[in-house]
Every structure is written in structure tokens, then in C-alpha cells.
């Protein structure tokens, strides 16, 4: 088992994929303490060079070149979703720890194979669940745990883009992945997802859903409804948690101090107030810090294969449901991903 700690100079990092999300990751990788962005790799040489020069890293178009570099301890993958499994497998085979943009793989079975390979090689694998590191999400979790809205009855989410989609996954795997990650973090185990159903409204030119509704049935009789759309007239990012004593509404596009509102029902007219997050840290910086913490401590990250497998199981069920006119698909409890023998 390879469990070598990083050296005193910190973790040497390589970024694979220097596009829209990769460039944002590069900015945070270059700024974080405890790590050094050494290499930027992209199939587009000009893109790799531009991002590399901006952050003082060398550029390459070859993954093999990256994995031959002894300065690289860990790799961050921000390439199209269809390439994730192959790239992550190559990095693990080369003895590197990996942070990968969502989804970890294209199916539960593929993600399980990644988890097994990481476990066997003693490597860290973390998936970029960006919203889990939002200060608003942390506050949401605290408020729900303390009963701020009473007993949870329903959740409504609207997550839309304006003519911005993906070429290798559908809208559920792209946008609803975020909602499933958030729900897995903020809800207690008593409200875990037990079944899903999905309907789509626009197949698009590639035969993949461009818009649709995902319904997540939760233990305890509550339900979440997630509406996603790549072609909406307006970009929206809202989630509303409703209980028998009030509601919490999160608008991620509102000004920072106004993103989370609580409305109580304890008085005749009700009351509304803004809940300010504890701090204003960029979520992606939190992702990078968590990855470096796990790599340095040789410890399981908070968004590892176990968390990702639960999300991918729900997305696979959503795909099946959408193809069968919204049939409700039960989510069998996933076998525990045993990582105690890993770093």
C-alpha cells in the first residue's frame, strides 16, 4: 500500500483540463497553502499555456507527461465527464491521489471500480461536491438540525441555465447532481432518499434530457422536487425547505447577506429574517483545502467514493425512471464502501 506523505515543501499538484471549471480550480490551487500547482495539462495547447503562465506552472498536452513528473503528488481532473473514469484510473495506477470534478464516473459500477482501485493502492480519491463547502449550506444544515422549521415536509429546488449544457451527460447528471449532493449533506439520516422518479420535457438534438423534474422520496414521508433546465429564460439557483413551523429559502444568486431567509409560521402574519452565513469563503477553495487536508493526513475526504456512489445510484434510477414515464424506482441501500484499510 502506498501511503507516503507529501514532503516538507507541500503537495505538488497537476491540473488536467484548463477550460471553464479548470481555470477556476487553477486559481484556487495556486492560492492555497500547503500545495504548489506545478503542471497544467489540456489537449488544447494554447489553453494549457495560458492558464499555466497565469499561475507559474508548466504546460503540457500529455497526461503521460504529467504522470512522469516526480514533482506531482496529486492530480486534479476537470475534463469532460465521459473521460473521468479513464483519467482517474491512469492517475491511480501511477500512484497519484486524485480530486475529480463530478461525476466521478458514468455509472455506479464504474465508480465502485474506482473506489476499489483507490483502496487497493492506498490512494485518496475525492469528488468535487462544490456546494457542500458553501457557507450557506453549512448554515442550512445547522438550522435543519436544530429544528428551525419544525418537521420537514417538502423541499423544492429550481436549478436552471440559459443555453448552457453538456455534451456527454444529461441535465439530471449535470445539474441535479448538485441537489443530491446538497441533500446528502444537509439532511439527517432519518430523511435519506429511499426512491426517485423523473420526467423529462426536452430530449434535445442528442437524445438526452435537456430539462426535467426529479422527485426524491425521503424516509419520513417528505419529498424533494428538483426542476432542472439547460434552456431556461433565466438562470436560477433556489432551494426551499418547508416544515410545519416555517421554511428556509436559499437563493444562491442573491447578494451574499441575503441568500438564506427563514420564514416562521408561529405568528398569524408570519415573520421573515435573513440568516447570515458564518463566513464568506469561496466554496471551491474549501474543496481544494479539504483535498489537501486528506492528502497530507492520509485520511478519508468528506466527499469520497462513498458519498458519490449514493448520488450516482439516484441518478441511474432517475435515468431509468425518465425512460419509463416517471416510474418510481426504489433505492436499495448501497453496501458500505469499506475504506478503513485505505490511507
**131 burial level (CB within 10 Å; 0-12, 13-18, 19+):** buried
Residue 164: predicted pLDDT: 83
Question: What secondary structure does DSSP assign to 183-230, as a single string?
Answer: HHHHS-GGG-EEEEEEEEEE-TTTTS-SEEEEEEEETTS-EEEEEEES
User: Count of residues for the chain?
Assistant: 343
The DSSP bridge pattern shows strands 74-77 and 58-60 to be: unpaired
What is the distance, to the nearest Å, from the Cα of residue 66 to the centroid of all Cα atoms in its chain? Answer: 25
**74 burial level (CB within 10 Å; 0-12, 13-18, 19+):** buried
Residue 9: predicted pLDDT: 65
CA atoms of 183 and 178, how far apart (whole Å): 9
Please give the grid coordinates belonging to residue 234.
433565466
Residue 178: predicted pLDDT: 97
- Using one digit for the tens of pLDDT, what is the confidence trace for 91-146? 999 999 999 999 999 999 999 999 999 999 999 999 999 999 999 999 999 999 99
**In sequence order, which residues have a C-beta less than 8 Å from that of residue 38 and are 6 or more positions away?**
12, 13, 14, 57, 58, 69, 71, 72
Peptide bond into 331 cis (omega under 30): no
Residue 343: predicted pLDDT: 36
List of long-range contacts for 43-46, beta carbons under 8 Å, 24+ apart = 44/18
**Between vectors from CA 58 to CA 56 and to CA 62, what angle results, nearest 5°?**
150
Residues in the chain with pLDDT values less than 70:
1-9, 203-206, 266-271, 278-280, 333-343
The residue among 99, 107, 62, 113 whose CA lies nearest residue 82 is 107
The DSSP bridge pattern shows strands 260-264 and 271-274 to be: antiparallel
Sole residue written with cell 426504489: 330
Q: pTM for the whole thing?
A: 0.91
CATH C-level class of 132-280:
alpha beta
Residue 250: predicted pLDDT: 96
Residue 21: predicted pLDDT: 95
Residue 45: predicted pLDDT: 98
What is the distance, to the nearest Å, from the Cα of residue 17 to the centroid of all Cα atoms in its chain? Answer: 17
Q: Domain limits of the chain?
A: 11-131+284-302, 132-280
Give the largest CA-CA distance in the chain: 68
The DSSP bridge pattern shows strands 246-251 and 260-264 to be: antiparallel
**The CATH fold of domain 11-131+284-302:** Rossmann fold (3.40.50)
Within 10 angstroms of residue 258's Cβ, the number of other Cβ atoms is 11
By three-state DSSP, how is residue 44 classified?
coil
Amino acid at each position: 500500500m502506498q501511503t507516503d506523505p507529501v514532503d516538507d515543501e507541500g503537495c505538488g499538484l497537476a491540473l488536467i483540463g484548463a477550460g471553464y471549471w479548470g481555470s477556476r480550480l487553477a486559481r484556487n490551487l495556486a492560492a492555497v497553502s500547503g500545495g504548489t500547482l506545478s503542471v497544467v495539462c489540456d489537449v488544447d495547447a494554447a489553453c494549457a499555456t495560458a492558464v499555466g503562465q497565469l499561475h507559474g506552472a508548466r504546460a503540457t498536452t500529455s497526461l503521460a507527461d504529467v504522470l512522469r513528473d516526480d514533482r506531482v503528488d496529486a492530480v486534479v481532473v476537470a475534463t469532460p465527464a465521459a473521460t473521468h473514469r479513464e483519467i482517474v484510473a491512469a492517475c491511480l495506477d501511477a500512484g497519484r491521489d486524485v480530486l475529480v470534478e463530478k461525476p466521478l464516473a458514468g455509472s455506479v459500477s464504474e465508480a465502485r471500480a474506482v473506489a476499489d482501485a483507490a483502496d487497493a493502492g492506498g490512494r485518496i480519491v475525492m469528488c468535487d461536491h462544490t456546494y457542500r463547502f458553501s457557507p450557506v449550506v453549512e448554515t442550512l444544515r445547522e438550522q435543519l438540525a436544530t429544528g428551525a422549521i419544525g418537521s420537514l415536509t417538502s423541499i423544492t429546488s429550481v436549478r436552471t441555465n440559459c443555453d448552457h449544457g453538456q455534451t456527454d451527460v444529461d441535465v439530471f447528471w449535470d445539474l441535479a447532481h448538485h441537489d443530491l449532493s446538497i441533500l446528502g449533506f444537509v439532511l439527517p439520516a432519518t430523511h435519506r432518499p429511499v426512491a426517485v422518479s423523473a420526467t423529462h420535457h426536452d430530449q434535445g438534438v442528442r437524445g438526452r434530457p435537456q430539462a426535467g423534474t426529479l422527485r426524491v422520496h425521503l424516509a419520513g414521508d417528505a419529498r424533494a422536487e428538483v426542476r432542472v433546465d439547460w434552456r431556461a429564460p433565466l438562470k436560477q439557483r433556489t432551494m426551499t425547505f418547508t416544515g410545519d413551523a416555517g421554511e428556509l429559502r436559499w437563493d444562491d444568486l442573491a447578494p451574499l447577506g441575503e441568500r438564506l431567509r427563514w420564514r416562521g409560521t408561529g405568528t398569524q402574519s408570519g415573520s421573515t429574517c435573513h440568516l447570515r452565513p458564518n463566513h464568506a469563503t469561496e466554496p471551491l477553495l474549501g474543496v481544494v483545502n479539504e483535498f489537501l487536508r486528506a492528502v497530507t493526513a492520509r485520511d478519508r475526504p468528506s466527499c469520497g467514493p462513498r458519498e458519490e456512489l449514493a448520488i450516482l445510484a439516484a441518478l441511474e434510477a432517475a435515468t431509468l425512471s425518465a425512460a419509463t414515464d416517471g416510474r418510481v424506482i426504489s433505492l436499495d441501500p448501497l453496501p458500505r464502501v469499506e475504506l478503513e484499510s485505505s490511507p
